Every structure is written in structure tokens, then in C-alpha cells.
Amino acid sequence: MYIHQLKEWPEFYWEQPKLVQPLTEIRHRQGRLLGKMENLGFPLRSEAVLQILTLDVIKSSEIEGEILDHSQVRSSIARKLRMDMSGLVASDRNVDGVVEMMLDATQQFATPLTKERLFHWHSELFPAGKSGMHNITTGDWRNGPMQVVSGAMGKERIHFQAPDAAIINKEMSLFLNWFNTKKDIDPVLKAGIAHLWFVTIHPFDDGNGRIARAIADMQLARADESSQRFYSMSAQIRLERKDYYDMLEDTQRDTLDITNWLEWFLACLGRAFNATENTLNSVLQKARFWETNNDQSLNERQRLMLNKLLDGFEGKLNTSKWATITKCSTDTALRDIQDLVEKKILQKENAGGRSTNYILLQ
């Protein structure tokens, strides 16, 4: 039986002694991380938040197989948070929708989660009322059966079957009441329970995974008592996607004992904290770079491209890419690059090929 078919549903339980040590460690690391970020100072802290939120939005969509443009996501977040930045690019409606959901969840974490708010998130995720080529119900609960299936036609494997559409309103009322009022559960554990509970109900035609992760992020923001996000659970889940899906599937069967799921959730959160160290190092490296080159005379194109390199430019940088991104001629791009080479900011990469590539010297 699926857990939502058990007569005790949704009375989840877990072996508290198994969770005491990992939860204590997570809460300790959480406090240390927040303290470290507070000491960064406002500009660096804002840059770290922007990087983490960008990563969170991109990776949560990647888990579902949707690839979003990094520059568009970053620009959309910066605009919505009113960050004064140069080099912002236009973002399409789909990107803005995902960003809107994530920012509403994390920036307004103290506001109660309601049916209307979830409907708004869902409409933002699917502004055209389509998932791929298929029309779906948006801004409302699904009105048909829901199965999670894999495999070729005729050889399908059913991983999970959600509750009937007729009882979704009742199920979600119960969930939302618990989410907004239950105070006697550690807030980090509550994030893991909320994620699992929402995914089990699977109330929408599509987007359930992304919304479940947004709800978990909202609850983690409550646990942090901060709207500033310094770690990305979604980015870590993306790295562990197979284990994530396997754990969700295993937890849907036979028993409401969710100890294994909560142990995995806490361990994954711990690994997300580890990954934050890389983000912090990147932010500090970027700050040191601009501090070192503060007196250099650079045009807006050069500043734009240097920031892209510092943020982790994907692929090789050459004159044609520079020209395309900055919307200038290849001659202008070459002059920009040569100027940076002379200033010992860029250098030619020692690699073969028909085009010359450049990397940061510092």
C-alpha cells in the first residue's frame, strides 16, 4: 500500500534517537554558517545571496529536466531584489515565473502558506498553461489521476500513485493547517516532512517537485529566521538526484515511519552546507579581484565580461563570444581583450585550436 492509503495517514513518525546527533550537528553548522555570512559585510553578503538563489532556481528546474539560462536567472533575481548591478540581461516569462515563486517562498517566509499562494506559484511556473506540448490545469488542483511512471510504452513502471483528485482539497487543507500552525517539531525536521508530505499529495498536474522544494526552502528560511539564503538544498539534490528519487519512492510504501527519509534529508542538507564553502570562496575571490583592480580604467563591456568570468563562465572565451555577449563588433571585442591582456588581467590560454581563447590571469 502507498502511505496515503494507510488508515493512520498522515500521522508520520520517526525514531528520534537516530536523529538527535545529525540534527544537533546541522543546527550547530547552521548557526556557524549564518554567523560567518553576517561577518562578510553587506556587499559581499548580497553577492553570496545572489549566487545561491541563482543556483537554487537553476538546479531545482534541472532536477525536472528543464534547463534555464544562468544570466537570465541571475538578472531576474537581481531586478526583483532591486540590486544595483550592471550587465543585466532580459529574462523570459518562464524564468521570471520560477524566480517569482522562489523569492516569494524565501523572502516572505513568515507569511502563511495558503491555497491561493500555491495557485499563484503554479501559474507562475506555467504561464502559458502548458507543460511541454501538453495543456495542463494551472492555478488549481489537478482534476484527474496522477501516476509517476517511467519506461517505454507497454513496459511502463509505476513508481507512485497519488491520492484521488476528489480528496485533494481536503488533503491540502490538512497539510496547510499543519504547515502554518505546528510548532512542536524542530523547524529543520519540519522542512523535510513538508517536502515529503506535499510530494505525496502531488496536488498539481505538473511542477509538484519544484513547489515541494520551494516549500522546503520556505521552511528552512523559517528555521534560519532569515530571508537571505546562504545554501542551496536544490543544488545538492541535483547532484544526488537518483538517490533523491529512490528515497522518495522507498518512503511511499507500507509504513509512515519516515526515519530513513529524515536521515537522508539531514545528511543532504549537511552536504549543501559543504558546497556553500565553494560559493563563499568564489564571492571572496571576486571581491579581492575588484579590490586589486579598482584603479584600472575599464569600460562597461570589459566589466560585464570580467564579472561573467568571475561567476564561472561556461566554455571558452574568445573574441566572437565577447562580441556576441556585449553586442559589439569582433574588432571592438579584440581591442577590449588586448587591452585586458596588456593590463595583465587576461592571458591567452595555452591550448590548440583555430581560435584563440583567453582566461583570467589573476
- Any idea where the domains of the chain sit in the sequence? 3-285, 295-360
pLDDT value of position 192:
97
- Asked: is 295-360 a CATH 2.40.128.130 domain? The reply is no
Whether residue 10 is preceded by a cis peptide bond, meaning omega within 30 degrees of 0, is yes
Cβ 211 vs Cβ 33: under 8 Å: no
Q: How far apart are CA 55 and CA 75, in angstroms?
A: 13
Topology, domain 3-285: Fic-like fold (1.10.3290)
Q: 362 pLDDT exceeds 70? A: no
What is the CB neighbour count within 10 angstroms for residue 219? 23
| Per-residue pLDDT reduced to its tens digit, 232-273 | 999 999 999 999 999 999 999 889 999 999 999 999 999 999
Specify the pLDDT at position 352: 58
d(CA 240, CA 98): 21
**Grid coordinates belonging to 41:** 559585510
pLDDT surpassing 80 at residue 314: no
Q: Which of 21-25, 51-55, 94-98, 289-293 has the lowest mean pLDDT?
A: 289-293
Q: Is the pLDDT of residue 308 over 90?
A: no
**What pLDDT does 286 receive?**
80
Domains 3-285 and 295-360 share a fold: no
Stretch 213-220: mean pLDDT: 96
The average pLDDT across 321-332 equals: 93
pLDDT of residue 270: 95
Q: Judge whether 279 and 52 are in contact, CB under 8 Å.
A: yes
Find the mean pLDDT for residues 102-114.
96
Give the per-residue pLDDT at 248. Answer: 93
- pLDDT above 70 covers what percent of the chain? 98
Residue 230 confidence class, pLDDT cut points 50, 70, 90? confident
**Taking the CA atoms of the chain, what radius of gyration do you get in angstroms?**
23
pTM for the whole structure: 0.82
Q: What is the Cα–Cα distance from 211 to 354, expressed in whole angstroms?
A: 45
**pLDDT of 57 higher than 90:** yes
Nearest CA to 10 out of 143, 198, 145, 188 is that of: 198
